[in-house]
Amino acid sequence: MQRSLDDLALFLAIADAGGLAGAARATGQSAATLSRRMTALERDLNRRLFERGARGYTLTAAGRELLAEAEPLRDVAQRLTRWASADPTPRVRITTGHWTSRFLARHIRRVWSPGDAWVPEFLASNANVDLARREADIGVRNRRPEQNWLAARVTLPVHYAVYGVDPQVQEFLALPDGYPTTPSDRWVRRHHGDEIVTGASDTRLMLDLALSGMGRIVMPTFAGDAVEGLARLSPPIAEIAHDEWLVMHQDARHDPPVRAAIDALFTLLSDPALRPAP
């Protein structure tokens, strides 16, 4: 037996109203249509769901059992109603590391305005979000993808340097053990592991620690040079410089909102005025 969810929704409306007249007002269906649909539902289920009488429709024992089984549909219907009434402008989910997320958030209004056919939604994470499973629409990555179902577009190279409030600060800051690492974090542990004084669970918190004078921090030059109160304390670190790639699923890149987002992000990330060479 297969019945549509519409029939079950009508069943719920009649059960709530206790009759066809109230259910007709609630659903916009005629009483005759409701009666016909419930008769067909009873026939398909091989169960009598209602006692029909002068006082309306009263649920039978089988009807009460079906009511209990169908109750979760109310929540589904409410969620679908909220979804249908929400802003239809698609959100394009962009996953990046913390520094690039911060850069994009500060400059996104250069390439996006309210009323555009897409809305950016940032997922800041140093861990790779799975684009193949559509956990995000666009990823900003530090290497070209090898999977043939992913497409990529190169932007500008990313360079790193050591920053701090003062050359007198000698200690370093790093992510705690167990957190997704970054090229800069691995470099600090490799070359200054015995100078790490403390760390924080994300790079934005480490920036605050660096600004307090707690320790030095390794940052992309496009991010570090823009922070008031920090000074560059080293030349660019060639060992961890890398190309940067916009990565997306081969199919998703043809979706107009995603295509518009790719072009906008490329404009920002490839602008030498915003991200000058070190």
Taking only the tens place, the pLDDT of each residue in 87-105 is: 678 899 999 988 999 999 9
Is the pTM value of this prediction over 0.85? Answer: no
| Rounded average pLDDT over 45-53 | 91
- Alpha-carbon distances, residue 61 vs 22, 49, 50 (angstroms): 22, 7, 9
The C-alpha torsion from 179 through 180 and 182 to 188, rounded to 10°, is 30
Using an 8 Å Cβ cutoff, are 31 and 21 in contact? yes
What pLDDT, on the 0 to 100 scale, is given for residue 94? 94
Contacts of 227 (CB under 8 A, 6+ apart): 163, 207, 211, 219
| Type of residue numbered 133 | R
For residue 177, name the pLDDT band (cuts at 50, 70, 90).
confident
| Type of residue numbered 204 | R
| Number of Cβ within a 10 Å radius of residue 182 | 21
Using an 8 Å Cβ cutoff, are 164 and 233 in contact? yes
71-85, 90-104, 186-200: lowest mean pLDDT where?
A: 71-85
- Percentage of the chain beyond pLDDT 90 is 67
| Type of residue numbered 256 | P
Task: Choose between 160 and 143: higher pLDDT.
Answer: 160
Two tokens at 186? 């691995």
Query: Quick one: which of 278, 266, 277, 222 has its CA closest to 110?
Result: 266
Whether residue 1 is predicted with pLDDT greater than 50 in this model: the reply is no
User: Could you tell me where the DSSP H helices lie in the chain?
Assistant: 5-17, 20-27, 31-45, 61-70, 72-85, 98-107, 183-192, 203-211, 221-224, 256-269
Q: What separation, in Å, do the N-terminal and C-terminal C-alpha atoms of the chain show?
A: 69
Task: For the chain, count helices (H), then strands (E).
Answer: 10, 12
| Rounded average pLDDT over 64-87 | 82
Using an 8 Å Cβ cutoff, are 117 and 236 in contact? no
Using an 8 Å Cβ cutoff, are 7 and 45 in contact? no
Average pLDDT score over the chain: 90
| Rounded average pLDDT over 27-34 | 92
Task: Choose between 120 and 254: higher pLDDT.
Answer: 120
Query: Quick one: which of 155, 147, 156, 154 has its CA closest to 128?
Result: 147
Whether residue 57 is predicted with pLDDT greater than 50 in this model: the reply is yes
Using an 8 Å Cβ cutoff, are 131 and 249 in contact? yes
106-115, 144-153, 165-174, 260-269: lowest mean pLDDT where?
A: 144-153
What gap in Å lies between CA 78 and CA 91, rounded to an integer?
21
For residue 60, name the pLDDT band (cuts at 50, 70, 90).
very high
What pLDDT, on the 0 to 100 scale, is given for residue 176? 87
